[in-house]
Amino acid sequence: MPQRENLLNLTPDRAAEVLRAWMESHGQQAYRARQVLEHLYKQPVKGFAQMTTLPKALREDLDADFEMPGLEVATRQRSTDGTEKFLFRLRDGEAIETVAIPDGDRMILCVSSQAGCALKCAFCATGAMGFARNLEPFEIAGQVRALLMLDERPIKATNIVFMGMGEPLMNWKSVDVALTLLNSPDALGIGARHITVSTVGVLPGIVALGKRPEQFRLAISIHAPTDDLRQRLMPINTKFPLAEVIEAAKVFDRRVTFEYVMLGGVNDGPEHALQLARLAKDCAAFVNLIPLHPGGGQGFTPTPRGEIVDFARELRKAGVEVAIRKSRGMDIAAACGQLRAERVPRRSAEKVGA
Ligand code: SAH
């Protein structure tokens, strides 16, 4: 059997083209293509069988040529602060995590771009598990789509941050399409300014993101103000050293955020604040200080709260805009850098003998 085309891996424009051509070759009217499109994201359904605005025979014919695979929720955990963590099981048995963070009237979804991560940042749990594979576009946007279709308490994202598992700019081909799916009014319809791509500083990816006309936001994980120190914390620094990352941030045509995880006695001294301030001012970056969350690499302790506040004050004095990130979902290990999906058995395996 020829492989069915995955409609959820196509941009809305491409899907419309493909569906219109298919309708025409099947003697169907063009408006039927639009009806199918509506059911991909705007009124999402789990399969063609649920597209009840279409005649049954047409649904069956569509199902023979196309697929629209959803992501299967393996577990859902809820924190006392309302944050929820989802573990999705993928078709090949890999697993990824997504975190939903309610914040006032916003609902921030922290999405994964890869199963695992190759970068091995010293303090990060995902880094410790290693790299499995890149996600496809439907697996990235599908995290947002799946939460819209939960039977119980469905979740509608208002903001997206690519701060789950993986390095999004090392999977640009899929992230590029996923950004369109997240943003397009014909798909998930989330404003570009409400979508943030977070990267260790993958230069070609930053350039590619900057070339997109939409105002997607960029956050760069800096974590150390000198190459020496950054190299120790983030091995990728040998490939993309600080000076080049800062240069890329400068030419990026929108305001960039620096992420800086506070590691007790490692990168949190007054001299680091001054060095960081210089870098941030050089490219007019906003600085986000992140309290270290447990569960990452061994050997690090969080900077005490009071010292984070002092560090922020130093930056502010030097003329840098800075915020301290709130820690959310700590009791369910759903905070930054704590995502490390468990390998979940496939359902078929679980059900053997049942
Ligand atoms: N690869 C991308 C996106 C995923 S990580 C990146 O590195 O930016 C999202 C953010 O969480 C990054 O800034 C990362 O450095 C940070 N992070 C990782 N482990 C952490 C931990 N244990 N505590 C706090 N933040 C952490």
In a domain, 250, yes or no: yes
CATH number at residue 125: 3.20.20.70
CA of 236 to the centre of ligand 1 (A): 13
Checking if the pLDDT of 350 tops 50, the result is no
Task: Measure Cα distances from 255 to 106, 196, 248, 252 in Å.
Answer: 21, 12, 12, 8
Kindly report the protein residue whose alpha carbon is nearest to atom 8 of ligand 1.
199
247 among known catalytic residues: no
- Whether ligand 1 lies within 6 angstroms of the CB of 336 is answered as yes
Report the number of distinct structural domains present in the chain: 2
Same domain, 159 and 121: yes
pTM of the predicted structure, to 2 decimals: 0.95
Checking if the pLDDT of 352 tops 50, the result is no
Same domain, 23 and 159: no
Same domain, 92 and 12: no
Query: What residues make up the domain containing 60?
Result: 5-67
Instruction: Report pLDDT digits (tens) over 158-198.
Output: 999 999 999 999 999 999 999 999 999 999 999 999 999 99
Closest CA to 264 of 293, 284, 221: 293
Same domain, 63 and 76: no
Please state, rounded to an integer, the average pLDDT across all residues of the chain: 94
Same domain, 146 and 45: no
Same domain, 79 and 145: yes
Same domain, 14 and 96: no
Closest CA to 321 of 267, 271, 284, 275: 284
Same domain, 288 and 139: yes
The pairing of strands 106-110 and 95-103 is antiparallel
In a domain, 179, yes or no: yes
- Whether ligand 1 lies within 6 angstroms of the CB of 233 is answered as no
- Express as a percent the part of the chain with pLDDT over 90: 88
Same domain, 44 and 177: no
117: DSSP letter: -
- Whether ligand 1 lies within 6 angstroms of the CB of 259 is answered as yes
Burial grade of 249 (CB within 10 A; 0-12, 13-18, 19 or more): buried
Checking if the pLDDT of 267 tops 50, the result is yes
121 among known catalytic residues: no
Q: Which of 97, 136, 167, 314 is catalytic?
A: 97
Q: What would the mean pLDDT of 259-277 be, rounded to a whole number?
A: 97
Checking if the pLDDT of 337 tops 90, the result is no
When pLDDT is cut at 50, 70 and 90, the band that residue 344 belongs to is low
CA of 26 to the centre of ligand 1 (A): 49
Q: How many CB atoms lie within 10 A of CB 141?
A: 30
